Amino acid sequence: MTKPKNNYMSEVINFEEVQQEQQGPKFDPNKKYTWNMDSKFELNGRDFGMLLNAMRAVINTKEAQTILLAKEAGDVLESTLAAAVETGVVVEVSENKASL
């Protein structure tokens, strides 16, 4: 009586690829990402404090204060111009006219 042959199959598995497939997408800081406006992000207290203190440190510099003041001045100019347009004091220029 002859012994039956064992039919074994073998397969080479790259465990790094399998592990990456199971983990899902991987963050790459060189890529651009998008999210929905109602997406929620969570910060722990340490991270929130670090971000808050960093923003305060930047905002409290003389340069930042100058830029913030310029932004306020720009807002005043825009609202003054908007009011002048709405009252008819300022009118839109056609494409082929120069204003000054």
Residues 58-67 pLDDT 10s: 999 999 999 9
Report how far residue 89's alpha carbon sits from residue 81's, in angstroms, rounded to the nearest whole number.
Answer: 9
- The pLDDT tens digits of the residues spanning 42-61 come to 999 999 999 999 999 999 99
Q: What is the pTM of this model?
A: 0.51
Check residue 24 and give its pLDDT.
85
Give the single-character DSSP code of 61: S
Distant-in-sequence, close-in-space partners of 64: CB < 8 Å, separation ≥ 6: 58
Report how far residue 35's alpha carbon sits from residue 18's, in angstroms, rounded to the nearest whole number.
Answer: 27
